[in-house]
Structure 1
Amino acid sequence: MTNVAVIYYSSTGQVHELAVAAAEAAEKAGAAARLRRVAELAPEEAIRSNPEWAAHRDATRDVEEARLEDLEWADVVLLGSPTRYGLPAAQIKQFIDTTGGLWAQGKLAGKVASSFTSTSTVHGGQESTILALNNTFYHWGAIIVPPGYADPVQFAPTNGNPYGAGSVSANGTARPTEDNLAAMRFQATRCVQIAAALRRGADAA
């Protein structure tokens, strides 16, 4: 069985919804999936100043926090983050920065990896955030699997990003569209399929 770790940070819930869709799609494709959020680093006063942020934080307390063990276990790693000035959020970057030990042991090399995001506006940095997350995968020696335009859902009006699934939150008030969620499901399923194909090839060799 292919193991999939969906590791994400979400403040007001959009990236969380994409992450849930990814984990569900991976399981439907026959994989074992772990849905994991990274630790919140923002001060309580900042969280409480935004009702949507506070509500989402409280609603997802039961989602397990990501651990390095989840990365070591996974054959597929999906990282999700909202954009912060065109870059991943500090919360997920902090988690990434703890992976040096696994990287030094070569335990992250060869994993299938992909990323996804959410922005406040249409041109708010989706591509740059995903590309920044993918920089991590280059260093790991992972095999980056983008969605590309390999499925008709990628041509839906609210999608169109070949780098990774995304949504536009309209400053935290809009939810991912069904097309956004379908694109996320396709991306996760594609990663599972390619990881399984790589395993079959390795076994045959």
Structure 2
Amino acid sequence: MTNVAVIYYSSTGNIHKMAEAAAAEAEKAGAEVRLRKVAELAPRSAVESNPAWAAHTAATEDVPVATPDDLVWADAVLLGTPTRFGLPSAQLKQFLDSVGGVWAQGKLANKVVSSFTSTNNAHGGQESTILALNNTFYHWGAIIVPPGFTDPVQFEKANGNPYGASSVTHNQPGNVHPDNLAAVAYQARRATEIATALKAGLSAA
């Protein structure tokens, strides 16, 4: 069986919604899936100052927090983060910064990886965020699998990002267009299928 880890950070629920769609599709594709959030770094006062942030934090208390072992376990990893000034969130970046030990042991090489994001507006840094994440994956020796323009869902009105699925939230919590949910589901299925084929090929080599 192919192991897929969907690891994300979400403050008000948009990326969480996309992560759930990705996890569900990977399961449909036959994978064993771990859905994991990364640890919150913001002070409680900041979270509680935003009702939507506080509500989402409370609603997802039961989602396990990601550890480096989740990356070691996985054959494919999908990472989701909102954009922060055109870059990944500090929360997701801190998690990635914590995996040097397993990276040094070569345990992150040949992982299939793919990323998704959300922004407040259409030109808020989706592509630069995903490209920034890719810099980490090059160091791992991972295999980056973007959605590309390989499925008609990418040509729907709300899509068109070959780097990775992205959502424009317009500052509304949990506001993910159905096209974007379909896009991230397709992306998860594609990553799972390629990881399955890679795993079979390496086993047969």
Do the structures match in fold with TM over 0.5? yes
Q: Deviations over 1:13-40 (max 9, x none)?
A: 0000000000000000000000000000
Structure 1 stretch displaced more, 1-10 or 46-55: 46-55
Q: Which of structure 1's runs of 4+ aligned residues deviate more than 6 A?
A: none
Q: Deviations over 1:143-200 (max 9, x none)?
A: 0000000000000111100000110111234611111000000000000110111122
Hey, what's the Cα distance between the residues in 2 that align with 1:200 and 1:23?
Answer: 21
Contact conserved, 1:10 with 1:16, CA < 8 A, in 2? yes
Report SS of the residue matched to 1:83: strand
State the TM-score, normalized to the length of structure 1.
Answer: 0.98
1:112 aligns with 2:93: no
Hey, what's the Cα distance between the residues in 2 that align with 1:80 and 1:18?
Answer: 8
The equivalent residue for 1:131 is: 131
Report SS of the residue matched to 2:79: strand
Contact conserved, 2:130 with 2:163, CA < 8 A, in 1? yes
1:38 aligns with 2:38: yes
CA RMSD of aligned residues (A): 0.9
Report SS of the residue matched to 2:41: coil
Code of the aligned partner of 2:52: E
1:188 aligns with 2:196: no
Contact conserved, 2:12 with 2:174, CA < 8 A, in 1? no
The equivalent residue for 2:26 is: 26
Report SS of the residue matched to 1:58: helix
Code of the aligned partner of 1:39: A
Structure 1 stretch displaced more, 96-105 or 44-53: 44-53
Contact conserved, 1:168 with 1:174, CA < 8 A, in 2? no
State the TM-score, normalized to the length of structure 2.
Answer: 0.98
Code of the aligned partner of 2:119: T
Distance 1:202 1:174, change over 3 A: closer
Equivalent runs, 1:45-124 vs 2, <5 Å: 45-124=45-124
Hey, what's the Cα distance between the residues in 2 that align with 1:181 and 1:161?
Answer: 13
Distance 1:17 1:174, change over 3 A: closer
Code of the aligned partner of 1:38: V
Identity of aligned residues (%): 68
1:198 aligns with 2:201: no
Gapped regions of structure 1 (runs ≥ 5): none
Gapped regions of structure 2 (runs ≥ 5): none
Contact conserved, 1:52 with 1:172, CA < 8 A, in 2? no
Code of the aligned partner of 2:41: L
Report SS of the residue matched to 2:77: strand
Residue 78 of structure 1: CA displacement? Answer: 0.7
Q: Would you say how many aligned residue pairs link Structure 1 and Structure 2?
A: 205
Distance 1:174 1:35, change over 3 A: closer
Residue 203 of structure 1: CA displacement? Answer: 2.7
Report SS of the residue matched to 2:17: helix
Hey, what's the Cα distance between the residues in 2 that align with 1:82 and 1:15?
Answer: 7
